[in-house]
């Protein structure tokens, strides 16, 4: 009776099988850890959302109460100036002077219909006024900030543009600053928190659509009721709603 010869496996194939088995095991382990972390953080996400919502409602109520008290005493209540701006680029690259082009690169306004959040200070305002012919800007509401992050939000991780499809993306980019979910991120931006700079840098510039109904005129100031460029104050929110 002839003994069957043992089938030999090539060395390269053997190494590949071992490598594939190890990768499959690592992937399974990683998925298990992610599932456990998701279950563990589910309660935190719910509590964080509730806490930030209640804080915002309390802050809004406080401002209304102060306005009513001032009116009852024949006084004037002046709200605190917003700490940040929303700037939207409305013109392309044709005939842009080198200095203005450099400023828009520094402000991350590289494409038409890009929108970014910027600190409202003297240095930034000097740059924004320099490029007024190419942008429009104003003060966003809480609803606008929330809509931008949820509908057009992308994070920057290892120089890559990652959609904010789940809270794990936010935690991977900003977990070291105590920002673990999208609600934490929105709250940090809106309240101009201690880590506003890191949170804002984590957010990729918002890529918006052309506004529904089109623009009136890119060559004239919005303040003159003839165009679209320049400051809009709180009316920037109407434009953003038409561009989402």
Phi then psi for 85, rounded to 5 degrees? -115, 160
Strands 160-163 and 154-157: antiparallel
Q: Does pTM top 0.95 for this prediction?
A: no
Please state, in angstroms and as integers, the Cα–Cα distance from residue 203 to each residue in 82, 141, 145, following that order: 20, 18, 12
pLDDT, tens only, 45-60? 888 889 999 999 999 9
pLDDT of residue 42: 81
| Helix H or strand E encompassing 137 | strand 135-138
pLDDT, tens only, 60-106? 999 999 999 999 999 888 888 899 999 999 998 888 889 999 999 99
pLDDT of residue 16: 86
Is residue 191 within 8 Å of 84, Cβ to Cβ?
A: no
What is the full DSSP assignment across 45-57? HHHHHHHHHHHHH
């Amino acid at each position: 009776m002839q003994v069957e010869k043992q089938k030999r496996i090539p060395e390269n194939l053997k190494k590949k099988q071992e490598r594939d088995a190890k990768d499959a095991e690592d992937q399974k382990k990683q998925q298990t850890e992610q599932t456990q972390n998701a279950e563990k953080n589910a309660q935190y996400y719910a509590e964080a959302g509730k806490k930030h919502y209640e804080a915002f409602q309390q802050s809004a109520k406080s401002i209304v109460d102060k306005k009513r008290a001032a009116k009852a005493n024949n006084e004037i209540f002046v709200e605190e100036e917003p700490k940040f701006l929303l700037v939207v680029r409305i013109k392309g690259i044709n005939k842009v002077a080198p200095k203005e082009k450099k400023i828009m690169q520094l402000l991350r306004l590289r494409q038409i219909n890009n929108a970014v959040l910027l600190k409202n200070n003297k240095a930034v305002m000097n740059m924004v006024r320099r490029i007024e012919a190419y942008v429009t800007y104003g003060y966003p509401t809480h609803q606008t900030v929330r809509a931008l992050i949820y509908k057009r939000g992308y994070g920057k991780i290892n120089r890559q543009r990652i959609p904010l499809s789940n809270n794990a993306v936010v935690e991977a980019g900003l977990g070291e600053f105590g920002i673990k979910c999208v609600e934490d991120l929105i709250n940090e931006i809106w309240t101009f928190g201690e880590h506003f700079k890191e949170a804002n840098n984590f957010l990729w510039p918002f890529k918006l659509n052309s506004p529904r109904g089109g623009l009136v005129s890119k060559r004239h100031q919005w303040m003159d009721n003839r165009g679209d460029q320049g400051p809009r104050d709180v009316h920037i929110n109407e434009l953003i709603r038409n561009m989402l």
